[in-house]
């Protein structure tokens, strides 16, 4: 049990609601500086036909509207799935102090799996990151959802990030926690 379990329960409830309307079950909650729920969001891309309606974006927009400012200083974003590049960028732009996520996203994760957008030292804001909170539970929602879509058995959601080596990865020196060593390539 972690201090983030209650907040992740709120995000998981939002994720379940997303699945009910045909969206990928990802949920998010923004906590105010005291740790109280400020705003929630769930994936709404299918529901609203909006390609940017990821759970994190929805929650960040609602939190900003509630506070009357785009700056979410000292707030925490809690999300069931590792944020993609768009959502990681939005978290940085909103100035959240911390990002807490559940399951890794091996296909689009931009904090640990594919990239590390939020801790790039070239950025003017770098939130703290806590990953893996209730990861199995968050991953199970996704596995079940995609299993129903495919009509078959889907393997368990991955709990380890894919290798960071290869084309399209952060370059050495862009992030102190990432060393890119891709395959040798011949000159074009």
pLDDT confidence of 110, banded at 50, 70, 90?
A: very high
- pTM for the whole thing? 0.82
Taking phi first (over 0 means left), then psi (-120 to 50 degrees means alpha), and beta for anything else, what does residue 79 get? Answer: beta
pLDDT at 184 over 80: no
Give the catalytic positions in this structure.
56
Asked if 42 contacts 116 with a C-beta cutoff of 8 angstroms, the reply is no
Tokens of 140: 């199970």
What was the pLDDT predicted at 156? 65
Contact call for residues 99 and 125 (beta carbons, < 8 A) = no
Question: Taking 60 as the threshold, does the pLDDT of residue 161 lie above it?
Answer: no
160 pLDDT tier (thresholds 50, 70, 90) = low
Range from 4-13, 103-112, 175-184 carrying the lowest mean pLDDT: 175-184
Pairing between β-strand 98-103 and β-strand 76-81 as defined by DSSP bridges: parallel
pLDDT tens per residue across span 36-77: 999 999 999 999 999 999 999 999 999 999 999 999 999 999
For helices 55-67 and 85-94, give the axis angle rounded to 10 degrees: 20
* Residues 166, 48: Cα–Cα separation, whole Å: 35
């Amino acid at each position: 049990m972690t201090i983030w379990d209650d907040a992740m329960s709120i995000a998981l409830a939002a994720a379940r609601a997303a699945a009910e309307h045909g969206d990928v079950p990802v949920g998010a909650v923004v906590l105010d500086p005291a740790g109280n729920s400020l705003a929630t969001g769930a994936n709404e891309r299918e529901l609203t036909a909006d390609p940017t309606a990821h759970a994190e974006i929805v929650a960040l927009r609602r939190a900003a509207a509630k506070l009357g400012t785009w700056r979410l200083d000292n707030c925490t974003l809690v999300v069931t799935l590792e944020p993609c590049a768009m959502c990681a960028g939005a978290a940085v732009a909103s100035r959240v102090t911390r990002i807490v996520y559940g399951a890794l996203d091996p296909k689009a994760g931009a904090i640990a799996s594919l990239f590390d957008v939020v801790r790039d030292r070239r950025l003017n804001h770098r939130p703290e990151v806590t990953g893996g909170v209730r990861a199995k539970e968050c991953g199970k929602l996704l596995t079940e959802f995609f299993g129903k879509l495919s009509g078959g058995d889907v393997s368990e959601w991955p709990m380890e990030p894919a290798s960071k080596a290869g084309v399209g990865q952060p370059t050495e020196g862009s992030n102190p926690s990432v060393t890119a060593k891709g395959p040798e390539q011949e000159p074009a």
